[in-house]
Amino acid sequence: MQAFFENLKSEDFWLRLAFMLLFLIGVEVALSVMLLLIMVQFVYRLFMGKLQAEIYAFSSSLSAFIHQSYQFLIYQVEEKPFPFNDWPKAKAMPDEDAEP
């Protein structure tokens, strides 16, 4: 019970809560953008027969941001994601000529 009262008085505890709420909102926005990217990439692939490189790169880095944000939200890491750190790097686009 002592820890409860100490947390109520702790500035760090309330600051973490504020950051968690901000990142929760940011993740919700990022998920909406990701859904749009998924649909656009699907339609592009349908009509052009290949992936669109810029959409692939941005969706790759956006998914890394979402992952980093969730890790912060569930107390896996204390390091805050973007904008407090660098934006995540995108994965390399797969070679579409290669056999799956």
Q: Is the pLDDT of residue 100 over 70?
A: no
Residue 27: other Cβ atoms inside 10 A: 20
Per residue in 53-78, pLDDT tens? 999 999 999 999 999 999 999 999 99
Q: Which residue has the higher pLDDT, 56 or 4?
A: 56
Q: Is residue 97 part of a domain?
A: no
Q: Is residue 99 part of a domain?
A: no
Q: Is residue 2 part of a domain?
A: no
Under the banding of pLDDT at 50, 70 and 90, the label for residue 96 is low
Q: Is residue 3 part of a domain?
A: no
Q: Is residue 13 part of a domain?
A: no
Range of the domain at 56: 20-91
Q: Is residue 12 part of a domain?
A: no
Q: Is residue 4 part of a domain?
A: no
Structurally, the chain folds into a number of domains equal to: 1
For residue 27, what are the contacts with CB-CB under 8 A and spacing of at least 6? 66, 69, 70, 73
What is this structure's pTM? 0.87
